[in-house]
Amino acid sequence: MSPLYDGNWTTYTWIVVVAVLVCFGFAWAIGANDVANAFGTSVGAKTLSLLQACIIAGIFEFVGAITLGMSVASAVAASIAHPEVFFQFPELYMYGMMCALAAAGIWVTVATYFEMAVSTTHSSIGAIMGFALVWQGSEAIVWSQATDSFPFRAGFVPIVISWFSSPIISGILASGNFLLNRSLILRRDNAVRLAFVALPLLVMFTVFINVFFILQKGAGKQLQWSPGHCAWVAAVVGGGSGIFTAVAIVPLLMLRHKSVMLTHALPQHGMSKVAGQVASVMQSNKGMRRHLKDELAELGSDARHAAHSGARGLLDGLASILHWGPRGDSAAIAAGAA
């Protein structure tokens, strides 16, 4: 017989079971909201399809939760409400955490339905504060206390400070990154080639940052590595990722770029003929300049012809109205004006 029906169903086991079910619901709400925030720009820019974004998010959101989520979960569990306050009533602490999960999950779901970008972490923090305040007022809240690790403070006040400092810091970093890329890549004549050159470097730096924090924060208690050791391992992994990108990914992207330029970026009529002409003209900058010069000369000739025809038509019309000459004879207008 199952242990649940063999007299082992304790008074509080139901809280664990219900909390697990609530966690699944909360995880669904997190996926609906946070994944949209992370991949909304990629899907909106047509870089990824919705199906591709869901597959990538399903893999890497899970990996991120496993590798780095524990530090955040520990901070939320122990840095908001004093566990000592519930020392004599551990079942009440369990029940409060279950209610906090349910409340945060409901709020995130409702906010997602109304297309509001909310933070699941902040929702959880507010829910935990809510049941702690109901139980024992402000004494149950960890407002601010010193810690041994960065940022050397824990509690609700440092979290509130981060609500304001995080957007400012991330905005400064994003602005600097964009200005650097715009100056060195986007506004250059050979921007596409420079983008292919810079991509492995960007991948290397991004992987280095992620691996470093995984080793330092996510697995720090298990590995007990120094920051220097973590940095060396992260540098090796990042360098390998950059080399792999340069050898395997960049050539594929270059082929994809050439295919797009020869198909989607050109008119549908006479595609092969125009594509051949463009390919031959773009062999050198000299050929491109000569081609543009011929096109502009032809356009100027057409414009002069159109202006001359329009002027003659206008004079013929005035002649017919003023009866200065036979219809269509613009020479009579010139004689009359003289």
Q: Can you give the pLDDT at residue 13? A: 85
Instruction: Please check whether residue 212 lies inside any domain of the structure.
Output: yes
Domain shared by 114 and 230, yes or no: no
Domain shared by 8 and 46, yes or no: yes
Domain shared by 225 and 105, yes or no: no
Number of domains in the chain: 3
Instruction: Please check whether residue 60 lies inside any domain of the structure.
Output: yes
Instruction: Please check whether residue 281 lies inside any domain of the structure.
Output: no
Domain shared by 123 and 220, yes or no: no
Domain shared by 55 and 180, yes or no: no
Domain shared by 5 and 136, yes or no: yes
Q: Can you give the pLDDT at residue 332? A: 44
Instruction: Please check whether residue 324 lies inside any domain of the structure.
Output: no
Domain shared by 33 and 153, yes or no: no
The whole-angstrom separation of Cα 144 and Cα 152 is 10
The whole-angstrom separation of Cα 306 and Cα 44 is 44
Domain shared by 163 and 196, yes or no: no
Domain shared by 174 and 199, yes or no: no
Instruction: Please check whether residue 11 lies inside any domain of the structure.
Output: yes
Domain shared by 73 and 171, yes or no: no
Token look-up 């000569």 returns 290
The whole-angstrom separation of Cα 139 and Cα 150 is 25
Q: With H, G, I as helix, E, B as strand and everything else as coil, classify residue 44.
A: helix
Q: Can you give the pLDDT at residue 102? A: 94
Domain shared by 114 and 157, yes or no: no
Q: Can you give the pLDDT at residue 92? A: 87
Q: Can you give the pLDDT at residue 31? A: 83
Q: With H, G, I as helix, E, B as strand and everything else as coil, classify residue 74.
A: helix
Instruction: Please check whether residue 101 lies inside any domain of the structure.
Output: yes
The whole-angstrom separation of Cα 37 and Cα 30 is 10
The list of the chain residues with pLDDT below 50 reads 1-5, 268-271, 281, 306-307, 311, 314-315, 317-338
Q: Can you give the pLDDT at residue 98? A: 92
Element (H, E) at 197: helix 191-213
Q: Domain range for residue 41?
A: 1-142
What pTM does this model have?
A: 0.61
Neighbouring CB atoms inside 10 A of 155's CB total 17
Instruction: Please check whether residue 319 lies inside any domain of the structure.
Output: no
Neighbouring CB atoms inside 10 A of 57's CB total 18
Q: Can you give the pLDDT at residue 324? A: 44
Domain shared by 165 and 134, yes or no: no
